[in-house]
Structure 1
Amino acid sequence: MTIVRLVRISLFLFIFIGCTKNTDTKTQEEVSDKKVDVFKINVDRTGLSESEGIIKTSHGNITFKFYPKKAPNTVARIIQLIQSGFYDGLSFHRVIPNFVIQTGDPTATGSGGSGKKIQAEFNNISHVTGTMAMARTLTDENSADSQFYIALTALPHLDNKYTVFGQVVDGLEILKKVKKGDKIISIEYIE
C-alpha cells in the first residue's frame, strides 16, 4: 500500500468519524415537515433530476442535481433541509485538497447535525469530481444526518460505502476555491 493511499485512508477516517451529535441551535424542530415526493421529480437518462440545487458562496455558485431514484429518502430529506434554510450560513468545516469539502454541521465541529438520522441508501454511483454524498460515522451505516461532502476528485475507495445523492453540474471550479470556514450564503432548490 502506498504512502499516498495510507494518507488518504487516514484522512478519510478523520473526516467521517463523529457526524451525528448535535449541540447547536439549528435542530430538527426548525425543519419543515413538508413531505417531498421525490418520485414526482423528473430525471434524465443518467438518473439526474431536472430540478437543481444552487449552493451560493462568496466564490460563486455551485449547481447540482439529485439522484432521486437512487437515494429517494436522502434526496427528500436534503430538499426539506434546503427549503427550511437549514444550510444557510453554515460553514464548510472540513476542506481537504484533492479529497473533499464537507458542510452541514451547525456546530462546525464535525459532530453536529439536524437531529434526524437518515437510513443508508448505498448505490452504484461512482465517486467522481463533484459527487455529493452523505457523511456518516464509520461504525454506523445509518448515522447520516445533514452533513454531506463533495468529492474534489475521483474517490473509488468510497464507492458503495456512502449514500451518493447528487452531482455538481456547474461550478466545479468553485469547489477548489472553497476554504475551511467559508460559509454557505444559501442553498436554493429549483423545481
Structure 2
Amino acid sequence: MAKNQKARLKTSKGDIIFELLVEDAPGSVANFVELLEKGFYNGKNFHRVVPNFVAQGGCPRGDGWGSTDYAIRSEFADLNYLEGYVGMASAGKDTESCQWFITHSPTPHLDGKYTIFAKVVKGMDVVHQLNIGDRIEKVELVR
C-alpha cells in the first residue's frame, strides 16, 4: 500500500479524512483496508463518545462488545496520541480486530498500549460534533 494513503469516513455529521500510517502499523492498516473494501464499516455507528477523550466505532453489534472472528497483532510504533489520532480498540495486547477510536485531545495514558494506525488530516470539527449513535455511512479509500 502506498505511503500517505487516505481513507474517507462519510458520517451523519460530515466527512473525516484519515491518513493511514502504513509504515508505523502495516498490519493494522491492512486489516482496516480489507474491512472497508468489504463494506464492513458501512452503516455502523459510533457506540462510544466520551467528550475530550475519544469517539469509538466499528463494532458489528453497535454496542462495543462485537468483534470479528479473528484478532490481529498489536503494533506499537514510536508515536504519541495527540488530537485526531486513530487507534485500534483492544482488550489487551494482540486482541485488536475491527473497532477503532479517534482521540479528541492528547491522551498520553494510551501511548504504547493501543496501536496507532491513522491520524485525522481533515474533519476534526466533525469528530468534535460526534455523539453516540451517529452513523458511519461509508468508509472508502481516497484515490
Normalising by structure 2, we get a TM-score of 0.96
> Equivalent residue for 2:120?
168
Identity fraction in percent: 36
Q: Does 1:144 align with 2:96?
A: yes
Alpha-carbon distance in 2 for matches of 1:76, 1:182: 25
More strand by share: 2
Alpha-carbon distance in 2 for matches of 1:113, 1:190: 25
CA apart distance, 1:109: 1.7
> Equivalent residue for 2:48?
94
CA apart distance, 1:180: 0.1
- Look up the SS of the partner of 1:91 in the other structure: strand
User: 1:45-94: per-residue Cα shift (whole Å, max 9, x none)?
Assistant: xxxx1x21000012110001111111111100100011110000001000
> Equivalent residue for 1:84?
38
Max Rg structure: 1
The amino acid of 1:158's aligned partner reads: L
Aligned residues: CA RMSD: 0.9
Number of aligned pairs?
143
- Look up the SS of the partner of 2:28 in the other structure: helix
> Equivalent residue for 2:13?
59
Alpha-carbon distance in 2 for matches of 1:154, 1:102: 15
Alpha-carbon distance in 2 for matches of 1:89, 1:133: 20
Regions of 4+ moved over 3 Å? none
CA apart distance, 1:190: 2.0
> Equivalent residue for 2:68?
114
| Structure 2 residue runs without a partner (length 5+) | none
Alpha-carbon distance in 1 for matches of 2:69, 2:44: 15
User: 1:130-171: per-residue Cα shift (whole Å, max 9, x none)?
Assistant: 10000001xx31111000000000001111111000000000
| Structure 1 residue runs without a partner (length 5+) | 1-37, 43-48
More helix by share: 1
Normalising by structure 1, we get a TM-score of 0.73
